[in-house]
Structure 1
Amino acid sequence: MKSDLEECHEHRGNSEVQQLHEMAPKILISTTVPETFATILRGQPGYLASRFQVTLATSPADMLAKVETAEGLRVLSVPMARGINPLGDIKSIVRMIQVLREVRPQLVHSYTPKAGLVTMLAAWLCRVPVRVHTFTGLIFPTAHGIKQRILIWVDRLICFCSTRIVPEGLGVKRDLEKFGITRKPLCVIGSGNIAGVDTSYFSPALSGIAAGASDLKVKLAIEDRDFVFCFVGRLNRDKGVAELVSAFSVLPKNAILILVGAIDETAPVDENTLEMIASDQRIHHLGFMDDIRPALMLADVLVLPSYREGFPNVILQAGSMELPVIATDINGCNEVIEDGFNGWLVPPRDAVSLGRVMKSAMESPLSVLREMGVRARARIHERFERSQHWDRMIEFYSKLLNT
């Protein structure tokens, strides 16, 4: 049993820790939807809470309570709708102002476009001292006409209201500069990306993953002679799914395509592509998966033919799993994939080039694919390790808050 003196010291120690935590700067982090906290940013807010008082804000959804439990943090509900929605955005800004007045943070940090607009404008109106927005991907470079002008105006407004602007990668930074979105300094954190990868979790050597891949192989009736391509992401037209399915359709019969991700109802792929997915017995649409590692373990190559990206996490995860990647030569992808080194780069919106490279990958010796995979994991570990990114985030916030 503990003596009275020991209990007194323990109580005093706990009290001092509590007092120190209450003195720590308050930070509010926002995303448009809770899925971003539950997947990409999972674990990061909880880690940051060791140094700061962290509160999260995101749209109400079933996953909100899951995020609150997983991170051990308070998550406040702010309805935010993707897309252009002036009336809904005004309501979101009013609600965010209420949240900021309640929390009174010294720093706010928003991710994703709509959360950026709502949070930065509300924080500017509330005069929050430090206002950080991370551009995780730009929509306007691939938009046209009046829609492009509106999107540019919105991003300029976000930058005007921000005190610090973080492009997720060098490609995003170049586009912000090229289109004259802001004259403020642009700071990429580390080598880019907003989360990093836990290479101990995304590891082909981890026990249990091979068994999961084997089970999936049996379930999908995939044979040893088959060559498996894997796509991970929302089935969205900007992800290049139409080009992927078109390119795949002319590949040899032993080619298999696994699609991991739900259909994006806000920008779904065309009906013809969906029909080809449903009718081709070599294509397996698995929908959303909480754990994508078995699918990556089963695959020979990951394919990501997006039209635009900020800094796609899936190519980091695939690389960590020693998987070569075929990706489009766009922002983010070409900051990780080096053609012929750890994968291949192809032009966006080009099904013919994509099909040619996919066929070339099928004809590559197994030893070449394995060596590419080894180099991919080494690069991810060196540049994008999650624990290192989390420490960089603490350093980043500390400098901004002068703590």
Structure 2
Amino acid sequence: MNASNRPLSVCLVCNTAWAIYTYRHGLIRTLVGKGATITVIAPRDRTFALLEEMGCHCIDLFVASKGTNPRDDLRTLSELYRHYRKVAPDVVFHYTIKPNIYGSVAAWLARVPSIAVTTGLGYVFIQKSHAAVVAKALYRFAFRFPREVWFLNRDDEAAFIDARLLAHPERARLLNGEGVDLDHFAFTPLPRKQNFTFILIGRLLWDKGVGEYVDAARALRARHPQARFQLLGPTGVDNPSAITLEEVRAWEHEGIVEYLGEAHDVRAHIANADCVVLPSYREGVPRTLMEASSMGRPIVATDVPGCRDVVDDCETGLLCEARNAASLAEKLEQMMAMSHDDRSAMGERGRVKVAAEFDEAAVVARYLKTLNELTGVSL
């Protein structure tokens, strides 16, 4: 119990409830199990019911993730301020760009301690646009308010410090990814089958390199008609880089990829794959790759922040150039040319690396330590 003799109250705020459920499942399970009250504030989606089953209280939030209208963003800030005044949480954790920016300001106005978790720098550091310039200015203003700013990899931390976006650089902390449940994503032997299967798992965004994956698949299918190229994840998401279902269906109709839709539990899809692919332009620390390595799958990914934190080139996977379909195709073909035993060994080394560096238990322990430091409550 805290000073007011009530359960510790923690808010988790994000631009999608799906991300809270998918990426912070272990954290929520631990906090609820220790008696904390968890409030999730995010746009309503199908995971509200799942979060409520876990014991969370869920509040719908208006966030115009694709938009740059100041009126919409002020509405988000105003709603968050109102929620923080009503809920009166002991600590708020913000995730993704707009909750990080407007939530940090709202929490300061409501006199609530907050932590900003930069889950990946996205379009702000990928694109050279007016919106990106504005976003950096907003980061520079808003990030004077959180008690700490957490980064998932050293490249992102360095990018913020080099761009002088942190008024208090001493508040920066390296989380080293959000971790993976090693028991849930248990090691699974690499299958022996006739058709070599690649899979890309995640929100279907151009910034994830889906276009390059499709172009590489188109080139490789001409030489390796037995190879399968799968896509798993939501289309048409609220993101400036979103890919539509119609675009995916056109690729299917062309016979290039198989679209598997969405899945709460991706383990069967990873287990069926010979290789997991993520040609992203930039990541925090990609959960998909941690899960794939945890299950013993070799990886092909881009040599960019986040991906290279998970993949040791030629040891646990292969790294290619970003935004380069030919480079990606070369690495995919190299993966197919390897013997089954060599690919298996690569996947086994990936499991060892993830267990040593990205165990979710260590990440949850970091949250508990921070909550104790900010509130005086030991969970």
Q: TM-score, normalised by structure 1?
A: 0.85
Partner of 1:54: 38
Partner of 1:144: 128
Partner of 1:263: 235
Partner of 1:336: 310
Q: CA deviation at 1:157?
A: 2.5
Q: CA deviation at 1:142?
A: 1.1
Which of 92, 97, 100 pairs up with 2:76? 92
Residue 313 of structure 2 aligns to a residue in which SS? coil
Which of 352, 355, 367 pairs up with 1:381? 355
Residue 187 of structure 1 aligns to a residue in which SS? strand
Partner of 1:245: 214
**AA matched with 1:126:** A
Q: CA deviation at 1:298?
A: 1.0
Moved more, 163-172 or 343-352: 163-172
Q: Kindly tell me: are residues 51 and 171 of structure 1, through their superposed partners in 2, closer, same or farther at Cα, counting changes over 3 Å?
A: farther
**Would you say the 8 A contact 1:167–1:188 is kept in 2?**
yes
**AA matched with 1:237:** W
Q: Deviations over 1:328-373 (max 9, x none)?
A: 1111111110101100111100111111111111101111100011
Point out where structure 1 has 5 or more consecutive residues left out of the alignment: 1-17, 214-222
Residue 28 of structure 1 aligns to a residue in which SS? strand
Task: Say whether 1:319 aligns with 2:293.
Answer: yes
Task: Say whether 1:366 aligns with 2:340.
Answer: yes
Structure-2 separation of matches of 1:268 and 1:396: 34
Q: Kindly tell me: are residues 171 and 385 of structure 1, through their superposed partners in 2, closer, same or farther at Cα, counting changes over 3 Å?
A: same
**AA matched with 1:257:** F
Q: Kindly tell me: are residues 135 and 86 of structure 1, through their superposed partners in 2, closer, same or farther at Cα, counting changes over 3 Å?
A: same
**Would you say the 8 A contact 2:235–2:245 is kept in 1?**
no
**Would you say the 8 A contact 1:21–1:53 is kept in 2?**
no
**Would you say the 8 A contact 2:217–2:257 is kept in 1?**
no
**Would you say the 8 A contact 2:2–2:376 is kept in 1?**
no
**Would you say the 8 A contact 1:242–1:273 is kept in 2?**
no
Partner of 1:156: 140
Which of 11, 14, 18 pairs up with 1:35? 18
Q: Kindly tell me: are residues 62 and 293 of structure 1, through their superposed partners in 2, closer, same or farther at Cα, counting changes over 3 Å?
A: closer
Partner of 2:173: 187
Q: Kindly tell me: are residues 271 and 398 of structure 1, through their superposed partners in 2, closer, same or farther at Cα, counting changes over 3 Å?
A: closer
Task: Say whether 1:309 aligns with 2:283.
Answer: yes
Corresponding residue pairs, total: 367
Q: Kindly tell me: are residues 271 and 293 of structure 1, through their superposed partners in 2, closer, same or farther at Cα, counting changes over 3 Å?
A: closer
Q: CA deviation at 1:82?
A: 0.7
Partner of 1:230: 199
Q: Kindly tell me: are residues 281 and 367 of structure 1, through their superposed partners in 2, closer, same or farther at Cα, counting changes over 3 Å?
A: same
Moved more, 94-103 or 335-344: 94-103
Q: CA deviation at 1:205?
A: 4.4
Which of 199, 211, 214 pairs up with 2:182? 199
Structure-2 separation of matches of 1:177 and 1:270: 35
Task: Say whether 1:103 aligns with 2:75.
Answer: no
**AA matched with 1:303:** V
Q: Kindly tell me: are residues 19 and 30 of structure 1, through their superposed partners in 2, closer, same or farther at Cα, counting changes over 3 Å?
A: closer
Structure-2 separation of matches of 1:402 and 1:271: 48
Which of 53, 64, 67 pairs up with 2:48? 64
Moved more, 295-304 or 53-62: 53-62
Partner of 1:78: 61
Partner of 2:257: 283
**Aligned-residue identity in percent:** 24
Moved more, 333-342 or 114-123: 114-123
Structure-1 separation of matches of 2:368 and 2:250: 47
Structure-2 separation of matches of 1:361 and 1:283: 18
Q: Kindly tell me: are residues 286 and 91 of structure 1, through their superposed partners in 2, closer, same or farther at Cα, counting changes over 3 Å?
A: same
Q: Kindly tell me: are residues 205 and 149 of structure 1, through their superposed partners in 2, closer, same or farther at Cα, counting changes over 3 Å?
A: closer
**Would you say the 8 A contact 1:256–1:283 is kept in 2?**
yes
Structure-1 separation of matches of 2:323 and 2:293: 23
**AA matched with 1:82:** S
Structure-2 separation of matches of 1:102 and 1:327: 44
**AA matched with 1:322:** G
